[in-house]
Amino acid sequence: MASTANFRNGMVLKIDGQLFQIVYFQHVKPGKGGAFVRSKIKNVLTGAVIERTWNAGERVDEVRLERRPVQYSYHDGHLYHFMDMESYEDIPVSGDVIGEDQLNYLKETMECSGLLHDGRMLSIELPFFIELEVAETDPGVRGDTAQGGTKPAKLETGAVVQVPLFVEQGQMIRVDRREDKYLERV
């Protein structure tokens, strides 16, 4: 148990059976009445952010989450299987836990970061910068544009990003998966 005096950004609380992470908090002492704490908390599973006000000194359940390195192994049609890099256990995870935007960049043997609570995987975080092979792209013809142009390229994982005209099929490129953006050739 922790009190509102122990609040800090990033702290995870259990409220009504759900896990919430403190995004922002502020202790308020008005001239009249008792002190209170204003906070913004984010649901760990859904990502929904809500505002909540607490009385000063109110007790809350603090939860410790564990971040562990995991490696993507394979997809069996229903679940995605990861290996815990410390215990070598197989951890099956649904696509909802990973997130649709990250699934486009998931590649076998990729090392990721997993967030665990009571042995249950809450989320998987892929690296921000990923090196992938260009599977399909149109040939870029010199002189097509006055300035540097771009063209769509389909990567080995199925994701599509805009790349410069000089990038060809079969080349390895580095991509920022958060913005679906080409960074450089590797």
For residue 54, the domain's CATH number is 2.30.30.30
Which is more confident, 74 or 1?
74
* CA quadruple 144, 147, 148, 151: dihedral sign: negative
Domain finish residue from 80, 97, 125: 125
Per-residue pLDDT, 146? 56
SS (H, E, C) the chain: CEEHHHCCCCCEEEECCEEEEEEEEEEECCCCCCCEEEEEEEECCCCCEEEEEEECCCEEEEECCEEEEEEEEEECCCCEEEEECCCCCEEEECHHHHCHHHHCCCCCCCEEEEEEECCEEEEEECCCEEEEEEEEECCCCCCCCCCCCEEEEEECCCCEEEEECCCCCCCEEEEECCCCEEEEEC
Show which of 33, 63, 93 is a domain's final residue.
63
Are residue 59 and residue 70 in the same domain, yes or no? no
CA 126, CA 101: separation in Å to the nearest integer?
10
pLDDT digits (tens, 9 = 90+) for 111-146: 999 888 887 888 888 999 999 999 999 887 666 555
Q: How many domains does the chain have?
A: 3
162: phi then psi, degrees, rounded to nearest 5? -85, 130
Residues 117 and 134 in one domain: no
| pLDDT number for residue 98 | 84
pLDDT at 45: 79
Mean pLDDT on 45-58 = 89
Its pTM surpasses 0.75: no
Asked if the model's pLDDT at residue 160 lies above 90, the reply is: yes
pLDDT score recorded for residue 147: 66
CB neighbours of 60 closer than 8 A, spacing ≥ 6?
Answer: 1, 2, 3, 4, 13, 14, 15, 54
Residues 50 and 79 in one domain: no
Residue where one domain finishes, among candidates 80, 109, 125: 125
Residue type, 30: P
Residues 172 and 147 occupy one common structural domain: yes
CATH code for the domain in which residue 96 is found: 2.40.50.140
Range of the domain at 147: 129-185
